[in-house]
């Protein structure tokens, strides 16, 4: 029986609580985790992002937790979205909304002590909008991964 890349991946990361980092236990390349996806070596955090979101950003996948070995989906940020949002603001376009998939990572950064003002700047939206995202008034239905089963 063939084992899927996802199964191999899950065997190499430690799934912890909804507010914790999920450390990569497999091989490394520099400070990042490394994973053979069947075609190429991919960053473990990038593969984790792909599993959670169904796509891979062209640019980087960033860590909300500053922990390069973390593969927790709620700590991973699409760097393209951040850059595109900032670019739109610089181009004088209306500040775009924050993509729903990024809300858990933003809330994680907030819980870790990031200020609303800094998060707003990072994603190129108003502080008022970011404040609503952080406090859950927008996308209050986002699961925040708190209902994910925790591995024994
Ligand atoms: Zn983390």
Torsion angles phi and psi, residue 29, rounded to 5: -130, 105
Q: How far, in Å, from the CA of 46 to the mean position of ligand 1?
A: 13
CA atoms of 93 and 116, how far apart (whole Å): 22
Average pLDDT over residues 121-150: 67
Closest by CA to 73, choosing from 51, 40, 97, is: 51
Q: How far, in Å, from the CA of 94 to the mean position of ligand 1?
A: 31
Query: Residues 36-78: pLDDT tens digits?
Result: 999 999 999 999 999 998 889 888 899 988 899 999 999 999 8
Q: How far, in Å, from the CA of 149 to the mean position of ligand 1?
A: 17
Q: Long-range pairs for 32-36 at CB < 8 Å and ≥24 separation?
A: 32/68, 32/69, 33/68, 33/69, 33/71, 35/5, 35/8, 35/9, 36/5, 36/8
């Amino acid at each position: 029986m063939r084992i899927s890349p996802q199964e191999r991946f899950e065997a190499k990361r430690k799934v912890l609580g909804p507010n914790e980092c999920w450390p990569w236990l497999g091989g490394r390349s520099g400070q990042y985790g490394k994973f053979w996806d069947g075609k190429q070596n991919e960053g473990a955090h990038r593969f984790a992002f792909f599993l959670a979101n169904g796509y891979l950003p062209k640019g980087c996948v960033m860590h909300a937790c500053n922990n390069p070995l973390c593969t927790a989906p709620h700590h991973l940020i699409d760097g393209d979205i951040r850059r595109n949002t900032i670019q739109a603001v610089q181009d004088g376009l209306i500040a775009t909304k924050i993509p729903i998939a990024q809300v858990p990572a933003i809330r994680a950064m907030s819980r870790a002590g990031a200020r609303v003002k800094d998060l707003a700047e990072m994603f190129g939206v108003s502080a008022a909008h970011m404040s609503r995202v952080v406090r859950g008034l927008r996308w209050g239905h986002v699961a925040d991964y708190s209902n994910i089963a925790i591995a024994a």
